[in-house]
Structure 1
């Protein structure tokens, strides 16, 4: 079975309590429930991980490498532009890496996004609210299928 890791970054456990104009009213739990439902439909084994601690986040990336995870979906949130450690860890992965952001980061950041982690992504989905996550899972499953699985 295809293994996909969803990595939620800093403050994502607070979705549903954050700026509704940027993130909507969907909660962290609702996002994960939608992803789990989509994973069942796709026949994908999904692990969901969230941390507010950079070192813990990096350690989970390392674990994904050694477990030969087939694809990683990441929303680093505030770490997108400001952490070399997470960028360097994500660069280790040999599998498809899809970065997602619920809000339109170009609008949010005045038309420009540096995106240290974004540069590593196989693909990027932004600005479609909570749907971004299920679309990323669909894309991950298709990328894995196209590649016939991933050897790390």
Structure 2
């Protein structure tokens, strides 16, 4: 595993994968009642108190997520918070794209993927991520942000 640099400036990119645009509607007993816009709003407010800049991206299309990561690579990000959704368990292409980044990467999952169906127990990106937060609901995003902030402090 390569060492990821700690950047003191730059943007933190929050990337959300397939079906996360349906939060608040889709299986709220598993994923919670907040919408992605509400989660992003809370995260933006927290970032402002920490003096951090965020950029949000969500897509249901793997190729669009990969293209966004390629653009992120060119911008030398301070960090990435990513909830890849179902791509977590299936996408070598996502893993390869994230592997190009030298910044810290935090993988976030609203539900505890290790307490769900067996196919969800494996993450294609866990071993290249700086850390993984799973099962903390929307608080996982804030925990990821606070962690990335601690790296720049």
For normalisation by structure 1, the TM-score amounts to 0.91
Provide the rounded CA distance (Å) in 2 between the counterparts of 1:79 and 1:43.
31
Go from structure 1 to structure 2 and tell me whether the alpha carbon gap of 1:112 and 1:18 turns closer, same or farther (over 3 Å shift).
closer
Go from structure 1 to structure 2 and tell me whether the alpha carbon gap of 1:127 and 1:23 turns closer, same or farther (over 3 Å shift).
same
- RMSD value over aligned CA atoms? 1.5
Say if 1:2 and 1:43, in contact at 8 Å, map to a contact too: no
Alignment-derived partner of residue 46 in structure 1: 54
Q: Secondary structure at the match of 1:40?
A: helix
The Cα shift of 1:2 comes to 3.9
For structure 1, which runs of at least 5 residues remain unmatched after alignment?
147-152
Alignment-derived partner of residue 96 in structure 2: 88
Moved over 2 A (4+): 109-112
Provide the rounded CA distance (Å) in 1 between the counterparts of 2:47 and 2:92.
31
Say if 2:31 and 2:137, in contact at 8 Å, map to a contact too: yes
Number of residue pairs matched by the alignment: 145
For normalisation by structure 2, the TM-score amounts to 0.90
The Cα shift of 1:112 comes to 6.9
Alignment-derived partner of residue 62 in structure 1: 70
